Amino acid sequence: MQNEPKGGLALFVAGTDTGIGKTHAAATLIHALRARRLATCGMKPVASGCLETLDGRRNEDALVLQAAGSEPLAYESINPIALREPLSPHLAARLEQVTVAMAPLRAAFDRLRATHEAVVVEGVGGWMVPLAPGLLASAIPRDWDLPVVLVVGLRLGCLNHALLSARAIQADGCRLAGWIGNCIDPAMAAVADNLETLREMLPAPCLGVLPHGLDPVQAAERLDLAPLLDPRAMD
């Protein structure tokens, strides 16, 4: 495949929706990989809702990924396209007359991949968020041949969102390598029953469940990376 990554481990972190903790899960994955002594970094190819700072535009999620990595990296290498308005990327880009294209994003990814043993790429919003006319966020893992880790925000409605997302991921020709449950609603009823249903119905292993309020360093101990690191699982 022409766009196949050169080596090492690279993952795409997708979410069942906006605001379900993709960044928290991605940072937790980075720390878990670092605990395995893998030089690891995060990447947020496209981010909207960025703030103007003295150092340039900064996105809160991308800053979390930057801080979680094994070594200090320039912000622009982690978040190549930083859009100001907190809108769907295709709308935010249109307001600024910015073109979101795959080539520069892939070039940034390749640079990170060349200097790290693992790269955790975080998507934006849900699986089918538009980045530009005719370009969905799902094109990144599909075109870059990245296995997908689905973050399921544990709240009412999570079963439908998770199953629909898993179906869409597979329909787009991507491999769902695993899923992470994120306890975003501490008052959610029947959490154990919902997790049991997800384990039964999702076509991929559960990598772990992240408790509410636990920081990524501590939460990293809750993840089982074996399905991601076993070479047989990457076939």
pLDDT higher than 80, residue 34: yes
Burial of 146 (0-12, 13-18, 19+ CB in 10 A): buried
pLDDT higher than 50, residue 43: yes
pLDDT in tens, 188-227: 999 999 999 999 999 999 999 999 988 999 999 999 999 9
The highest-level CATH class for domain 9-234 is alpha beta
Amino acid at 166: A
Reported confidence tier of residue 44, pLDDT bands at 50, 70, 90? very high
pLDDT of residue 213: 87
Q: Is 150 helix (H, G, I), strand (E, B) or coil?
A: strand
- Which of the residues are catalytic? 44
Going 210 to 216 to 218 to 222, the CA torsion angle's sign is: positive
User: For 86, phi and psi rounded to 5 degrees?
Assistant: -80, 65
Q: What is the arithmetic mean of pLDDT over 70-80?
A: 96
Sequence spans of domains, the chain: 9-234
pLDDT of residue 7: 56
pLDDT in tens, 96-110: 999 999 999 999 999
pLDDT higher than 70, residue 41: yes
- For residues 100-132, b (16+ Cβ closer than 10 Å) or e, as one string? bebeebbebbeebbeebbbbbbbbbbbbebbbb
